[in-house]
Amino acid sequence: MMRPFLAILRLTLRESFARRTFQAFLAISSIVALLFLFALNLDIVDGMQSAISLFGFELEQQVNLSRFVTQMEGAITILLFSGGIFMSLFATSSLIPSLLQPGIIDLYIAKPVSRPLILTARWLGGILIVAINITYLILSTWLIISLKSGIWNSGYLLALFPILLAFTALFTFMTFVGLISANGPLSLMLTYAIIFFSPLLMQRDEIYALLSAKIYSYLLDGLYYILPKMAEMGALSMKLTLHNEITDGWVLFHAAGFVLVLGLINLVIFQRKNF
């Protein structure tokens, strides 16, 4: 069963190549990496910085080099967590709905392959495309910054995992909506809504005071405990990069649980679907 599985995975990658989304993603990552390669200049004497310039601007005040590097990497982490995931979802939003189109899904199901295997391979293909791109961006910027500064911040590399897990959770949700609606734009909009409402749900204690009925607080609590906690996961990636104390590691387990449960629901929906 590995051969059909790999065939679907390969075609998913090929499809994103054909749509130029993969190349666009790689190009943006390369531009970011090149910016750091050419725009960041550090003059280091005996392990201490004597001058730092970024994009041609000399930083006048004395900055701790290690702090400067981790903060710069923290900025990339936040950029990746917000913009990177946003773009990744956009790039992969049509993967599931396009598979479900009449004339395409027929060709797959009529092969000696189980439905769960078809969906899993397609879903993994989407994650693989994003994982390759995000890993490429983090690794390349990490190498450039570390080689230039001599500071090898492993926390920045670890931030890759919450970012990928956050994307995986959102992509699983997008797959869920895609399976039900077969509508790429709708699944994308609803997934973006999770990202948008996540910081609000994190602050739900403040919102309770504004609500007239108790039912709304139950609703907010329900959404908070069910949906992946994007705001908390973003904060967690920053903490990993900045080497701050991690107190909310449970959000990772929550996201993994969300992926597992919703992933299984997706398989059941796909298994029972009529085409």
Partner 1 sequence: MPIIEISGLSKTYQRGKLRAVDNLSLAVEKGTVFSLLGPNGAGKTTLIKILLSLTHATSGQASIFNLPVNDTNIHRRIGYLSENHRFPEFLNPLQVLTHFGAMSDLEPGHLKNKIPLVIEFVGLKGWEKVKIKKFSKGMRQRLGIAHALLNDPEILFLDEPTDGIDPVGRKEIRDLILKLKNDGCTIFMNSHLLSEVERISDIVVIMKNGKILRQGTVDQFTEVQNQYELQLQSNHLSPALDGLISSWNLQPQPGLNRWLLQTGGTDSLNRCIDDLRRADIRIEALVPKKISLEDYFIDVVGE
Contact residues toward partner 1 (CB under 8 A) are 1, 3-4, 6-8, 10-11, 14-15, 18, 101-114, 272, 274-275
Q: Closer CB to partner 1, residue 107 or residue 210?
A: 107
Euclidean distance between CA atoms 46 and 263, whole angstroms? 52
Helix, strand or coil for residue 274? Answer: coil
- Per DSSP, 243 falls in state T
Q: Closer CB to partner 1, residue 117 or residue 202?
A: 117
Burial bucket for residue 48 (CB in 10 Å: 0-12, 13-18, 19+)? exposed
Distance in Å, CB of 107 to partner 1, minimum: 6
Euclidean distance between CA atoms 235 and 247, whole angstroms? 11
Distance in Å, CB of 20 to partner 1, minimum: 11
Q: Closer CB to partner 1, residue 10 or residue 67?
A: 10
C-alpha 194, offset from chain centre: 13
Q: Closer CB to partner 1, residue 7 or residue 31?
A: 7
Which sign does the torsion angle of CA 160, 161, 163, 168 carry? positive
Q: Closer CB to partner 1, residue 108 or residue 167?
A: 108
Cα–Cα nearest to 97, from 185, 192, 25, 24: 185
Euclidean distance between CA atoms 60 and 239, whole angstroms? 27
Distance in Å, CB of 110 to partner 1, minimum: 4
Tokens of 112: 């000696």
Q: Closer CB to partner 1, residue 250 or residue 275?
A: 275
Distance in Å, CB of 29 to partner 1, minimum: 23
Q: What are phi and psi of 252, to 5 degrees?
A: -70, -45
Distance in Å, CB of 23 to partner 1, minimum: 13
Tokens of 137: 């961006």
Distance in Å, CB of 177 to partner 1, minimum: 22
Euclidean distance between CA atoms 209 and 98, whole angstroms? 44
